[in-house]
């Protein structure tokens, strides 16, 4: 029987913080990529509204897990702001606080119903977007560094883990935008507006396919790094390999459902546009199914990693 110190609140925090970071990074990137035409303004707006919500909820879950809400210790988490050093907790505290402030301000620039490309807030919006990209990447990487900074846990102590979480964060951020966009889409008044909708959808799907491909490569590197490392890391990685305690969760939910299935579906949709230059069209059911599988895979990745690091043997310091 394994004793688990970190449970679902930490898993949910890692997932939601990564999702929010990915949404902000994606939103800021497409806003700046839209250039003078502002053709991706609507995409950026979806991402801007999504970004701060999961990070705020995930941070609250982390504070709860740390015991700050126990009777008599309601504001104990504020002690984290009394220290400024290079420890993972200190860096994470200030990084998440800065992210929440910037992402809320960024979302505010889109809040008005009349918000559009070139409006009075456009300059501020684009300036925040430039800051939002490295900040979003920083939070996404931090979710992996937080675990990787524990040398006593060989499953977590891999230089590849931060990159894996970064790619997964961007992918889940894109997936959240695709999903919300599909759920709220009710058609456009003009054929040109409808065409712009599908073209921006192609950008999201193609980018997500690339992220999933890189994520599959990084999963391979993560496993190979542990396999080629003599000692504790090789023993720890066995928990997700064939016959391991978490092998079914890892290979079915993370690799198959979360990576292979959405990648194959998205490839089937984007290849006609990518190779044959045909107009891109994606059915609404695909725009709902694919991001749901990506989000499930992203959550299960954190679940397996957090669980595996705790049930495999620690090493002495």
Residue 175 in 3-state DSSP?
A: helix
Split at pLDDT 50, 70, 90, the class of 81 is low
Look at 230 and 156; give whichever has higher pLDDT.
156
Scanning the structure block, which residue is given the tokens 């220290």? 83
pLDDT of residue 136: 97
Quick one: pLDDT at residue 25?
Answer: 98
- Cβ 48 vs Cβ 107: under 8 Å: yes
Taking alpha carbons only, the member of 199, 179, 139 closest to residue 286 is: 179
The SS3 assignment for 77 reads helix
CB-CB neighbours of 127 under 10 Å: 12
Q: Which residue in this structure is represented by tokens 């008044």?
A: 189
pLDDT of residue 189: 61
pLDDT for residue 1 is more than 60: no
Asked whether residue 192 carries a pLDDT value surpassing 80, the answer given is no
Tens of pLDDT along 230-251? 567 888 899 999 889 999 999 9
- Closest to 222 in 3D by CA, of 246, 241, 243, 249: 241
pLDDT of residue 223: 94
Class of domain 8-311: mainly alpha
The structural domains of the chain, with segments of one domain joined by +, span: 8-311
* Best-predicted range by mean pLDDT (110-119, 129-138, 144-153): 129-138
Query: How many Å apart are CA 177 and CA 54, to the nearest integer?
Result: 13
Q: Sign of the C-alpha dihedral, residues 229, 234, 236, 237?
A: positive
- 3 state DSSP class of 230: coil
Contact criterion met (CB below 8 Å) for 107 and 51: yes
Prediction pTM value: 0.93
């Amino acid at each position: 029987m394994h004793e688990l110190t970190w449970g679902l609140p930490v898993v949910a925090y890692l997932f939601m913080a990564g999702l929010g970071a990915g949404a902000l990074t994606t939103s800021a990137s497409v806003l700046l990529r839209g250039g003078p035409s502002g053709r991706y303004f609507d995409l950026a707006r979806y991402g801007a509204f999504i970004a701060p919500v999961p990070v705020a909820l995930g941070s609250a879950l982390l504070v709860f897990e740390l015991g700050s809400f126990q009777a008599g210790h309601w504001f104990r988490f504020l002690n984290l702001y009394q220290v400024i050093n290079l420890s993972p907790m200190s860096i994470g505290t200030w990084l998440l606080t800065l992210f929440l402030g910037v992402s809320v301000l960024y979302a505010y620039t889109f809040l008005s119903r009349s918000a559009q490309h070139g409006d009075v807030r456009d300059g501020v919006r684009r300036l925040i977007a430039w800051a939002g990209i490295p900040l979003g990447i920083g939070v996404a990487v931090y979710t992996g560094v937080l675990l990787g900074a524990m040398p006593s846990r060989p499953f977590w102590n891999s230089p590849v883990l931060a990159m894996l979480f970064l790619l997964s964060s961007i992918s889940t951020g894109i997936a959240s935008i695709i999903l919300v966009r599909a759920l709220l889409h009710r058609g456009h008044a003009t054929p040109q507006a409808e065409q712009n909708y599908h073209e921006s959808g192609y950008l999201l799907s193609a980018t997500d396919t690339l992220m999933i491909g890189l994520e599959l490569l990084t999963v391979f590197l993560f496993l190979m790094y542990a396999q080629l490392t003599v000692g504790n890391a090789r023993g720890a990685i066995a928990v997700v390999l064939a016959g391991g305690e978490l092998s079914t969760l890892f290979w079915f939910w993370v690799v198959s459902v979360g990576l292979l299935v959405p990648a194959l579906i998205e490839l089937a949709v984007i290849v006609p546009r990518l190779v044959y230059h045909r107009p891109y069209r994606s059915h609404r059911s695909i725009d709902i199914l694919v991001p749901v599988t990506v989000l499930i895979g992203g959550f299960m990745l954190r679940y397996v990693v957090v669980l595996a690091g705790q049930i495999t043997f620690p090493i002495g310091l």
